[in-house]
Structure 1
Amino acid sequence: MVKALIIDDEIDICYLLSSILRTKNLQVSYVNSISEATISLEKQQPEIIFLDNHLPDGLGIDFIKQLKLSYPSTKVVMITAFDNYSDRTKAFNNGVDTFISKPFTKNLIYQTVDNLTKA
């Protein structure tokens, strides 16, 4: 079973995204900050991370490099309401696999998971 970790400080987004991902038979957990993510990642390594940018203890966009260095096979999806060219460019330069704007659709999440889990 594919594991996914959601890192987002908006609990409603965590619940919504968790529900969508579970319908795709993913094992889902979520945390609300970078520091909580660091602790969670020490316990289990997910195949996919859904990462918000504006978190209480830092910017997700700056956390991408650390994620990719520590967990190179993990796919990272930046998911943010603050979508602009500069952030997209920085995210891809830092190693993000996909960039999604909020609000997102269920079908977009399904398509993203399908694309990232292809053999």
Structure 2
Amino acid sequence: MRALIVDDEEDIGLMVSRFLEKEGLEVDYADRVVKARDLIQSSEYEIFFLDLNLPDGTGFDLMADIRDHSADARVVIISAYDGVFENRKAKELSINHFIKKPFTKKQVLEVIPS
């Protein structure tokens, strides 16, 4: 299984990468929307971990690209922003899971399809 992590906080990206790699997943990391779009177009992913607050947009901005290229992929938001707007938007975009920062390793591993 292959995962893409999109988060502008490198320490979070590396931490989630380590969690997933220890579970046998192949992981790519991007810190910007534009970089993530390139990866989405050039690779196949089964699961995406998206931050909402990125320097050049939001994780929500990637949903059209994700659904166009990987329609059945699981999408997980990992964000400190979990207000009414964010939760409503996540539902509208059929986000599979919403994990609030700070998070635990267990929360990340629970969303990986078996």
Q: How does 1:1-119 map to 2 (within 5 A)?
A: 2-113=1-112, 117-118=113-114
Structure 2: where are the runs of 5+ without partners? none
What's the CA shift string for 1:44-93, capped at 9, x where partnerless?
11100000001111111232233223321111111101111220111121
Classify the secondary structure of the residue corresponding to 2:44: coil
State the distance in 1 between where 2:84 and 2:91 align. 11
Change (3 A) 1:65 1:91: farther
1:106 Cα deviation after fit:
0.6
Q: Percent identity?
A: 34
Question: d(CA) in 1 for partners of 2:107 and 2:67?
Answer: 23
RMSD: 1.2
- TM-score scaled to structure 2, two decimals? 0.92
* Inter-partner Cα distance in structure 2 for 1:94 and 1:35: 20
Amino acid at match of 1:8: D
Structure with the higher fraction of residues in helix conformation: 1
Q: Which runs of 5+ in 1 are unaligned?
A: none
Per the normalisation by structure 1, the TM-score is 0.89
